[in-house]
Amino acid sequence: MKTYIILPNIKRSPIPEEFQDDDVRSAEFLPEYFIEHFTQPGDTVFDPFAGFGTTLLVAERMKRIPFGIEADERRYEYTRSKLAMKDNIILGDSRQLDTFPLPAIDFVFTSPIFMGSDETKNPLSGFKEDGTYQVYLDQIQDIFRKLSEFLNPGAKVVVEVFNLAPKGTRPMTLLAWDMTYAISKALRFEREIIACWQEVDEEDTGETPMDVGYDHHYCLVFVKE
């Protein structure tokens, strides 16, 4: 497996207008690439931050069994409406992952909600609770520790994440590396694969595709021993 991949920066599936200003979806190419490499038809593919269901929908299309958790009710309803296996998404908080009736899991592809090191509301609570960046990282670690209990031995866990470049008053946040360290306390870190986003129109506007200051994401690969 190469240590970098170059993918077109497009989302193939349309999203309803009401969500267009809030399109936090991963590009389908990314879960597709890793599901192809790391799973077989019939395997269970899980996403604890399911969002608009990209991982689950790609998995289902590729004849895998999708399973996921999403805390936001509108996104949950949207994903549920798109899945054939409608009961395979849970509306809930992944911090309580150990309390849900989850199956044995063969593979995880997920992109957690992100936090800047200067923020003071914990995004894992829907921005309702106060919480420092360290609290957020500790809770991320705890989620993956709980998740580890459901993973079949040898299961891979791929986490899509990026560092946050300084912008305006926003400081640099080394989120990719801090998250690697946090999750590596729960699962063995195997390697990173860098996903580079190629603009489809090739016009260099000076803006980065994801508005985080970088044209690439890290795909952190962990393994359940």
Ligand X SMILES: C[S@@+](CC[C@H](N)C(=O)[O-])C[C@H]1O[C@@H](n2cnc3c(N)ncnc32)[C@H](O)[C@@H]1O
Task: Please give the residue ranges that form the binding site for ligand X (CB under 6 A).
Answer: 24-26, 49, 51-54, 69-72, 75, 93-95, 111, 113, 124
Q: Three-class SS string for the chain?
A: CCCEEEEECCCCCCCCHHHHHHCCCCCCHHHHHHHHHHCCCCCEEEECCCCCCHHHHHHHHCCCEEEEEECCHHHHHHHHHHCCCHHHEEECCHHHHHHCCCCCEEEEEECCCCCCCCCCECHHHCCCCECCHHHHHHHHHHHHHHHHCCEEEEEEEEEEECCECCECCECCECHHHHHHHHHHCCCEEEEEEEEEEECCCCCCCCCCCCCCCCCEEEEEEEECC
Q: Which is nearer to ligand X, 26 or 163 (CB)?
A: 26
Least spacing, CB of residue 210 vs ligand X, in Å: 10
- As given in the structure block, the two tokens for residue 91 are 């509306």
- Select 82 or 188, whichever has its Cβ closest to ligand X: 82
Cα(160)–Cα(31) distance, integer angstroms: 9
Q: Which residue is nearest to ligand X (CB)?
A: 51
Residue 190 CB, nearest approach to ligand X (Å): 21
Q: Between 75 and 217, name the residue whose CB sits nearer to ligand X.
A: 75
- We find the least distance from the C-beta atom of residue 11 to ligand X, in angstroms, to be 9
For residue 203, the minimal CB distance to ligand X (Å) is 25
Report in angstroms how near the CB of residue 92 gets to ligand X at its nearest.
7
Choice between 23 and 188, CB closer to ligand X:
23
Distance of closest approach, residue 196 Cβ to ligand X, in angstroms: 18
Closest CB to ligand X among residues 75, 156: 75
Q: Of the two residues 95 and 224, which places its CB atom closer to ligand X in the complex?
A: 95
How many CB atoms sit inside 10 A of residue 167's CB? 12
